[in-house]
Structure 1
Amino acid sequence: MSVYKEFLLLKRDMGGVVTLFLMPLVLIITVTLIQDNTFKTVTDSKIPILLVDYDKGNVSKTVFDNLQKSNVFSVVTTIDDVPITEAVAKEAVFKGKFQMAIVIPSHLSRDLQLKIDQNVERIVSSLGFSDSLAVKKQIKIVNQKEVKLYFDPAVQLSFKSGVMNSIDKMISQIETKSIYTTFQDQLGEGDTSFEQNSFITFKEIVPRINNKEIIPNSVQHNVPAWTLFAIFFIVIPLSINIVKEKTQGTFIRLRTNPVSSQIVLAGKTLMYLIICMIQFYMMIGVAVFLFPYLGLPALNVQGNLILMSVVALFSGFAAIGFGILLGTVAKTQEQSAPFGATSVIILAAIGGVWVPVFAMPKIMQVIAQSSPMNWGLEAFYDVLLRNASILDLLPELGLLFLFFIVTTTIALLYDKKKRAV
């Protein structure tokens, strides 16, 4: 009857129930579409960048060709059929019309080759291969060259670092090739070929299941994260209902019946646990069946649905425990609703739902270990990405259930003490 009572309370507010189920679906679709587009930016859509070429030599040509061949950038050298100057590029980037601009200084190719020639001649001379009768050339001082990069102030630091590393690698390859060629010319071995390909290469080794590589995508990251976010938002209606019972006198009437507080809370727990699981299966259904029609990868739950359901169940316990505690402590709905929404957002932020924990400062990485959302998120990742078994999930599941026990116990003790007073 306690469960039925909770059902009737929810039934009276059908708008709230619809919102409870509909908004998480809208959230997961919207965020995953945005995140998936960000994932695809690297391979599918190209970022236009401005290139100001004052060099007109081999270096600038190589930079232009490499940028054009990449799957990341499209190079813009003119605006309205007029060659871009540094001043025009700077203004366009700083106003947000373009994400970045590259300015290659004049005589870069010539001065680079001159500097390499001087260094190679010095090495060859020290080895005794130079012509002793040759007239020594006057050494010309070559100043260091500077390739300027302008970035839109709104772009992220990670984007800046990635672009600067790519440009630096490109210039280094050009410089290395020039050094090899100059050595060939100085040694007079025109038919000698130097191996210029990188000796050290990198290969990513990814986990395999049934001899198939597990390649993470935006869906595998977003579905668990925002499912947890939706489950924990159950805190708000649950705490509001508890406060309503106190302010309307319903809770006092319940206390006059020969029913313990544990039975009343058990009814709430069971009813809201059912809601959490319905939310979970609806979001999984959207990820499996609807996402392919939106151009997103379908979530592969084959062989993982049972374990994912277990994680969702224990995450629901943790969310309900927090909601019961908040509803018991709060005196008014104006206290419970804002505090519940804010606290869920904070738990999501420090738990890794928005920003990966490894990207946080050290102190925040330590704090993240105390967020029940982090425990649930890691458990979901263990199932989807790390091929974990039920035994591997026991630490996270244990923490989630312990959180439920602790918060519910505190709520019962607080309520008992308040009634005693």
Structure 2
Amino acid sequence: MSVYKEFLLLKRDMGGVVTLFLMPLVLIITVTLIQDSSFKKGQEIKIPILLVDYDKGKVSKTVSDNLKNSEVFSVITTFDNKPITEAEAKEAVFKGKYQMAIIIPSHLSIDLQTKIDQNVQKIVSSLGFSDTLAAKPNEKVVNQKEVKLYFDPAVQLSFRRGVMSGIDKMISQIETKSIYSSFQDQLGGEDAQFEQKSFITFKEIVPEVNNKEILPNSVQHNVPAWTLFAIFFIVIPLSINMVKEKTQGTFVRLRTNPVSNIIVLAGKTVMYLIICLIQFYMMIAVAVFLFPHLGLPALNVEGNLILMSIVALFSGLAAIGFGILLGTIAKTQEQSAPFGATAVIILAAIGGVWVPVFTMPKMMQIIAQSSPMNWGLEAFYDVLLRNGDLLDLVPELFLLVAFFIVTTTLALLYDKKKRAV
């Protein structure tokens, strides 16, 4: 009957119930569509960048070719069929019309080769070949060159560093090839062939299931994160209904019955746990069946649905415990609703729902370990991305159920103390 009573309370506010189910679906679809491109290897939409080439040599050609062949950038070199100048590029970028501009200085290729030839000649001479090689009495002074990068002030620091690292790698490859060729010329070799491929390479090793690589995508990251966000948002209607019961006198009437307060809270727990699981399965259904029609990868729940349901169940318990505690302490709806919404957003922010925990400052990484959303998110990742089993989920599940027990116990103790007074 306690569960039925909670059902009747929710039934009276069908608009709120519909919102409780539909808003998370809209949220997960919107956010996943926005973030999907960052997880794809090849992007359909390329970032336009400006390239001002004052060099017209092999260095600028290599940089230009690599950028044009990139799956990320679209290179623009002219405005109205006229070569872009540095002043025009700077103005366009700083006004936010383009994300970045690359300015390659004049004589970069020639001066780079001259500097390499000078250094190689010095090395060869120091090895005792100075008698057989023609010396260059008047050595040209070559000044250091700068490749200028203009960035839109709104561009993130990680993007800037990535672009700078990529361009530095391109030029380093050109320098290496030029050094080999210069040594060959200085030593008089004609047929010597140097291997230009990098000796050290990198290979990404990812987990495999049934000999298939598990490649993370936007769906695997967003579905668990925003499912948790939706589950914890039941804190608001739960706490509001508890405040209503107190202000309308319903709670006092319940206390006059020979029923323990634990039974009353158990009814709330069961009813709202059902809502949490309905939310979870609706979001899973959208990720499995609707996402492919929106051009998104479908969520693969094969063999994982039971474990994911267990994580959702325990996450729902944690959310309900927090809602019960808030509803017990709050005296008015004006206290419970704003505080509940703000608290959920804070827990999501520090728990890694919006920003990955590993990118946070060290202090925030420590604080993140105290968020129940972080525990639930890590448990979902263990299932979807790390191929974990039930034993791997035990630490996070234990923390979630412990959070429910602690918050519910505090609510019972607070209510008992308040009634005693």
TM-score range, shorter chain: over 0.9
AA matched with 2:254: L
Name the structure 2 match of 1:326: 326
Instruction: Tell me by how many angstroms 1:38 deviates.
Output: 2.7
Could you tell me whether the CA contact under 8 Å between 1:243 and 1:328 is conserved in 2?
yes
Name the structure 1 match of 2:11: 11
Measure, in 2, the Cα distance between the counterparts of 1:84 and 1:138.
37
Could you tell me whether the CA contact under 8 Å between 2:39 and 2:216 is conserved in 1?
no
Name the structure 2 match of 1:66: 66
Instruction: Tell me by how many angstroms 1:229 deviates.
Output: 0.3
Measure, in 2, the Cα distance between the counterparts of 1:38 and 1:179.
37
Measure, in 2, the Cα distance between the counterparts of 1:88 and 1:51.
11
Measure, in 1, the Cα distance between the counterparts of 2:347 and 2:42.
30
Question: Secondary structure in 2 aligned to 1:150?
Answer: strand
AA matched with 2:56: K
Measure, in 1, the Cα distance between the counterparts of 2:41 and 2:340.
36
Name the structure 1 match of 2:161: 161
Instruction: Tell me by how many angstroms 1:132 deviates.
Output: 5.4
Could you tell me whether the CA contact under 8 Å between 2:77 and 2:83 is conserved in 1?
yes
Name the structure 1 match of 2:272: 272
The verdict on how the C-alpha distance between 1:41 and 1:132 changes in structure 2, with shifts beyond 3 A counting, is: closer
Name the structure 1 match of 2:307: 307
4+ residue runs of structure 1 moved beyond 4 angstroms? none
Instruction: Tell me by how many angstroms 1:81 deviates.
Output: 1.1
Encode CA deviations 1:54-97: one digit per residue, 9 max, x unaligned: 11111111111111111111111001112100000000001111
Instruction: Tell me by how many angstroms 1:134 deviates.
Output: 3.7
Instruction: Tell me by how many angstroms 1:350 deviates.
Output: 0.5
* 1:180-219 equivalence runs, <5 A: 180-219=180-219
* 1:213-228 equivalence runs, <5 A: 213-228=213-228
Measure, in 2, the Cα distance between the counterparts of 1:189 and 1:110.
22
Question: Secondary structure in 1 aligned to 2:40?
Answer: helix
The verdict on how the C-alpha distance between 1:133 and 1:192 changes in structure 2, with shifts beyond 3 A counting, is: closer
Could you tell me whether the CA contact under 8 Å between 1:228 and 1:376 is conserved in 2?
yes
Measure, in 2, the Cα distance between the counterparts of 1:237 and 1:287.
25
Instruction: Tell me by how many angstroms 1:386 deviates.
Output: 1.1
Measure, in 2, the Cα distance between the counterparts of 1:398 and 1:200.
44
AA matched with 2:212: K
Name the structure 1 match of 2:28: 28
AA matched with 2:269: T
AA matched with 2:349: A
Measure, in 2, the Cα distance between the counterparts of 1:133 and 1:367.
66
Name the structure 1 match of 2:420: 420
Measure, in 2, the Cα distance between the counterparts of 1:133 and 1:389.
70
Encode CA deviations 1:195-254: one digit per residue, 9 max, x unaligned: 111000111111111111111111001000000000000000000000011111110111
Give the TM-score of the pair, scaled to structure 2: 0.98
Name the structure 2 match of 1:39: 39
Name the structure 2 match of 1:349: 349
**Matching of residue 125 in structure 1 with residue 117 in structure 2:** no
Encode CA deviations 1:105-151: one digit per residue, 9 max, x unaligned: 11111111111111011011111223458453212211100000000
Measure, in 1, the Cα distance between the counterparts of 2:11 and 2:415.
27
AA matched with 2:51: L
Could you tell me whether the CA contact under 8 Å between 1:27 and 1:226 is conserved in 2?
yes
Measure, in 1, the Cα distance between the counterparts of 2:134 and 2:406.
88
Encode CA deviations 1:281-303: one digit per residue, 9 max, x unaligned: 00000000000000000000000
Name the structure 2 match of 1:387: 387
Measure, in 1, the Cα distance between the counterparts of 2:360 and 2:42.
23
Name the structure 2 match of 1:147: 147
Task: For structure 2, list consecutive stretches of 5 or more residues without a partner in the other structure.
Answer: none
Measure, in 2, the Cα distance between the counterparts of 1:294 and 1:410.
45
Could you tell me whether the CA contact under 8 Å between 2:226 and 2:353 is conserved in 1?
yes
Name the structure 2 match of 1:233: 233
Name the structure 2 match of 1:101: 101
Could you tell me whether the CA contact under 8 Å between 2:232 and 2:316 is conserved in 1?
yes
* 1:256-295 equivalence runs, <5 A: 256-295=256-295
AA matched with 2:118: Q
Measure, in 2, the Cα distance between the counterparts of 1:108 and 1:26.
52
Name the structure 1 match of 2:361: 361
Could you tell me whether the CA contact under 8 Å between 2:40 and 2:217 is conserved in 1?
no
Number of residues paired by the alignment? 421
Measure, in 2, the Cα distance between the counterparts of 1:385 and 1:86.
46
The verdict on how the C-alpha distance between 1:213 and 1:41 changes in structure 2, with shifts beyond 3 A counting, is: closer
Measure, in 2, the Cα distance between the counterparts of 1:74 and 1:33.
22
Encode CA deviations 1:370-420: one digit per residue, 9 max, x unaligned: 000000000000011111111111111010000000000000000010011
AA matched with 1:227: T
The verdict on how the C-alpha distance between 1:212 and 1:41 changes in structure 2, with shifts beyond 3 A counting, is: closer
**Matching of residue 296 in structure 1 with residue 296 in structure 2:** yes
Question: Secondary structure in 1 aligned to 2:74?
Answer: strand
Measure, in 2, the Cα distance between the counterparts of 1:299 and 1:131.
71
Question: Secondary structure in 2 aligned to 1:220?
Answer: helix
Question: Secondary structure in 1 aligned to 2:50?
Answer: strand
Question: Secondary structure in 1 aligned to 2:150?
Answer: strand
Percent identity between matched residues is 84
**Matching of residue 252 in structure 1 with residue 243 in structure 2:** no
Task: For structure 1, list consecutive stretches of 5 or more residues without a partner in the other structure.
Answer: none
Give the TM-score of the pair, scaled to structure 1: 0.98
AA matched with 1:60: S
Encode CA deviations 1:275-320: one digit per residue, 9 max, x unaligned: 0000000000000000000000000000000000000000000000
Measure, in 2, the Cα distance between the counterparts of 1:416 and 1:336.
20
Could you tell me whether the CA contact under 8 Å between 1:41 and 1:72 is conserved in 2?
no
